Amino acid sequence: MDMPDRIRIAREAASLTQEELAAKLRESTGRKVAAVIVSRWERGVAAPGSELLVALAAAVGRSPEWLRTGIERGDSAPVLADEVLAAVAAQGMRAPDADEARYLAARGASSTGWTPAAFVALLQQMRLGEVAASQHFVDADVPRRVR
């Protein structure tokens, strides 16, 4: 997941439209920010400068660091069960990044009877965009370990 995806996911998690986010940014910075600019950020056509990134992070309740990198200061990805990681590797897939690991951990923590193959299928769906983008966003209260 890259910065455009994180901007969109954070905006959706904050229940803001692109126009509403642009209005918040206009109010907080005094700069001319239109919904089309937010759309360009979310499509990866442009990126917010430092001042707008800080205002954007405040508006969506995330840190500028998370929007840039996907990692909060002092944050680490949940540890996934070895069986899940082995199943992912057996399919020739790259290991889940931090956001994917949080999502998979949340699914495992809230569901019973999941097999490693089911996690692999979910990861494949995420990467193909078959799982709604807003479902990728998981709050900080997600358990850090899946057993």
Q: Do 59 and 102 fall within a single domain?
A: no
Q: Which comes out higher in pLDDT, residue 97 or 76?
A: 97
Selection from 82, 97, 88 nearest residue 122 by Cα: 88
What range does the domain containing 108 cover? 82-136
Selection from 134, 140, 20, 10 nearest residue 77 by Cα: 140
- Non-local (6+) Cβ contacts of 131 within 8 A are 122, 125
CA atoms within 13 A on the CB side of 122: 20
Q: What is the pTM of this model?
A: 0.52
Query: Distance between alpha carbon 26 and the CA centroid of its chain, in Å?
Result: 24
* pLDDT value, residue 133: 43
Q: Do 63 and 113 fall within a single domain?
A: no
To the nearest whole number, what is the mean pLDDT of the chain? 76
Which of residues 19, 46, 69 is at a domain's end?
Answer: 69
Q: Do 51 and 100 fall within a single domain?
A: no
- What type of residue sits at position 96? P
Lowest mean pLDDT among 14-18, 59-63, 122-126: 122-126
Quick one: tokens of 28? 């907080």
